[in-house]
């Protein structure tokens, strides 16, 4: 996030999970964690930038990497795996906003930032909005 200052946040998660019971470990995308962390980080940034004099546009960006071949965490837990492809390797995305929108509606900006990364997990030709991860983990 930039203007007139810069904030950077980093979240790291182990993606390989021991399956237990003698099963083969698998790689999970931990997309619920990604969505919650992103909303949390944006909310903190919104609080910070709402106190900065000057206003103006803010640029928020996200970089996700290392997810190639990962399975959907929600898909695995919900039994949707047969209808879902593997994870995209990652994304680089950015979006413009302002301090008020960032503070009051961090979920909307988070959605715009990760919307290109999430659909492969949750949307297919038969899907409906109830299968949209962002609505599942961040209602409203």
Q: State yes or no: pLDDT of 136 exceeds 70.
A: no
Q: State yes or no: pLDDT of 54 exceeds 70.
A: no
Q: Is the dihedral of CA 66, 70, 76, 82 positive or negative?
A: positive
Q: State yes or no: pLDDT of 3 exceeds 60.
A: no
| Residue 85, pLDDT score | 66
The boundaries of the domain holding residue 42 are 30-137
**What is the Cα gyration radius of the chain?**
16
Tens of pLDDT, residue by residue over 65-94, are 998 888 888 777 766 666 566 678 888 999
The runs of H, that is alpha helices, within the chain are: 31-50, 73-78, 99-104, 106-114, 119-122, 133-137
Per the domain annotation, does 5 fall within a domain? no
Total structural domains within the chain:
1
Residues near 14 by beta carbon (within 8 Å), at least 6 away in sequence:
none
Per the domain annotation, does 86 fall within a domain? yes
- Rounded to a whole number of angstroms, the distance between the first and last alpha carbons of the chain is 24
Per the domain annotation, does 91 fall within a domain? yes
| Residue 41, pLDDT score | 92
Residues near 115 by beta carbon (within 8 Å), at least 6 away in sequence:
134
Per the domain annotation, does 19 fall within a domain? no
Give bridge partners of residue 64 from the DSSP assignment.
91
| Residue 125, pLDDT score | 42
Per the domain annotation, does 89 fall within a domain? yes
Q: Packing angle between helix 106-114 and helix 31-50, nearest 10 degrees?
A: 130
The vertex-116 CA angle with 74 and 43, nearest 5°, equals 75
**Cβ–Cβ < 8 Å for 102, 42:** yes
Per the domain annotation, does 72 fall within a domain? yes
């Amino acid at each position: 996030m930039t203007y007139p200052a810069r904030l950077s946040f980093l979240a790291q998660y182990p993606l390989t999970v021991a399956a237990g019971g003698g099963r083969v470990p698998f790689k999970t995308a931990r997309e619920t964690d990604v969505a919650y962390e992103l909303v949390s980080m944006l909310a903190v940034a919104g609080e910070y930038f709402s106190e900065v004099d000057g206003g103006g546009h803010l640029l928020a960006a996200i970089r996700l990497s290392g997810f190639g071949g990962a399975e959907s965490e929600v898909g695995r837990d919900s039994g949707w795996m047969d209808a879902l492809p593997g994870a995209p390797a990652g994304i680089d995305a950015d979006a413009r906003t302002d301090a008020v929108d960032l503070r009051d509606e961090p979920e909307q900006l988070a959605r715009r930032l990760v919307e290109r990364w999430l659909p492969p997990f949750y949307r297919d030709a038969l899907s409906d909005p109830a299968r949209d991860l962002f609505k599942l983990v961040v209602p409203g």
